[in-house]
Amino acid sequence: MRVALFWMLAVASIVSGWRVFRTDSMVRAAYWLMASFVAVGIIMVQLDAEFLGLVLILMMAGEMTIMAVFMVMFMMNPAGLNPMMMVHQHRASIVAGVLAFVGLAGVGIFARFPEPTLRASGQVTAQLGHELLGDSMLIFETAGVALLATMIGALAIAGATGRFGSADEGSQEPGEA
């Protein structure tokens, strides 16, 4: 049962990954990629990397949506519903894609991984926490807090009632001196 589920998810992740390049809309492409990530996330949950798998889904839901919205925003395409070719440089990209897939799959199959030092138990998340917040804690915390502060600052500036009064004040139409 578990094995069957694994294969189903594996096939689903590859098929939806392939559909990303075959669909003709930016939003559909983004969400095919999302579907692929969800399948990978569930595989990770199955492999007892529960926390990592769930966090993958959590993060990708936001990221794929932001990606879709930004693409729609910048491409001249009403809300991404009109059809468009989603790929260019077909030959090169096909070659690169196949090479990358074969290479990674080869690593997965032929590489000799260290003997499993972790027992499959509920301790995986805790051990992950110790790893992240042990030796590397300073790096992670610094980066995390800096990023968060940047985001909050950006929001405070971009809001219509900005840090220094109304955001409209003093802004110029582009092209005007």
Partner 1 sequence: MAGARVEVVLGQRPGILKRLAAMAPVRVFAISGSESAEIETLIADLELEQEIVLTDSPRSANVLLAMGEFPGSMQESARRIHDQLCGPRRTLWLRQNVSAPSEAIFPKAIREDTHCDLALLLRKIHRDLLTGVEPSEEPILPDEEPALWRGVGPYGQGGTGMTGGVPYGRPMPETAPDRDGLALDQLSVRVGPFFRPFPSGLTLALKLQGDVIQEAAVAENPFDAKKLNPDFESGDPFIRALSEPVPVVEMEMARARHHLHWLCNALQVHGLGALGLRTRAIARSLSPGMIAPIAQLRKILRYSRSVSLVGAGVGVIQPDKIRDRGLGPVARAAGLREDLRMTDPAYQELGFEPVVHAENDVRSRLWQRLDEAMQSVTLAARSGNATSGGGGRVEGPRGVITLDGNSLPLLLGLLPDLLYGLEWGDAVATVVSLDLDLRDVRSQRVS
Partner 2 sequence: MISYGRLLGELATIALVLLAGVYATVVIDLWAGRMVARAPVRAFRALTFPIRQTALFLLQQRATTERPDAPLWALAPALLAAIAAASLLVIPFSSQTSAAGIESGIVYFGALMALVMIAVYLNGWSANSVFPIIGGYRFIAEALSYEMPLALVLIGAALPAQSLSVSAIVISQDSLWNVIRQPLGLPIYLIAGLGVAFWGPLALPDAADLAGGTESELSGVQLLLWRTARIAVLVAVAAMGAAVFLGGWTGPWLPGAVWMTLKTIALIFIMVGAGHLVARVRLERFVLVAWTVLIPLALLDVFAAGAVVLAGSPR
Helices (H), 75-123: 90-110
Token representation of residue 49: 């990397």
Token representation of residue 108: 């997965």
Q: Which of 161, 165, 171, 172 binds partner 2 (CB under 8 A)?
A: 161
Taking residue 29's Cβ as centre, other Cβ atoms within 10 Å add up to 23
Q: Are strands 165-166 and 161-162 parallel, antiparallel or unpaired?
A: antiparallel
Q: Identify what 86 binds: partner 2, partner 1, none; CB under 5 to 8 Å per kind.
A: none
**Rounded-to-integer distance, Cα 2 and Cα 45, Å:** 12
Tell me the closest approach of the beta carbon of residue 172 to partner 2, in angstroms: 21
CB 17 within 8 A of CB 33: yes
Q: Which of 6, 12, 14, 50 binds partner 2 (CB under 8 A)?
A: 50
Question: Per rule CB under 8 A, is residue 47 in the interface with partner 2?
Answer: no
Q: Identify what 173 binds: partner 1, partner 2, none; CB under 5 to 8 Å per kind.
A: partner 1
Residues within the interface to partner 1 (CB under 8 A):
72-78, 81-84, 160-161, 168, 171, 173-175
Q: Identify what 77 binds: partner 1, partner 2, none; CB under 5 to 8 Å per kind.
A: partner 1
Nearer to partner 2, 2 or 91 (CB): 2
Tell me the closest approach of the beta carbon of residue 78 to partner 1, in angstroms: 5
**Rounded-to-integer distance, Cα 59 and Cα 37, Å:** 10
**Rounded-to-integer distance, Cα 99 and Cα 174, Å:** 45
Tell me the closest approach of the beta carbon of residue 170 to partner 1, in angstroms: 12
Tell me the closest approach of the beta carbon of residue 73 to partner 1, in angstroms: 6
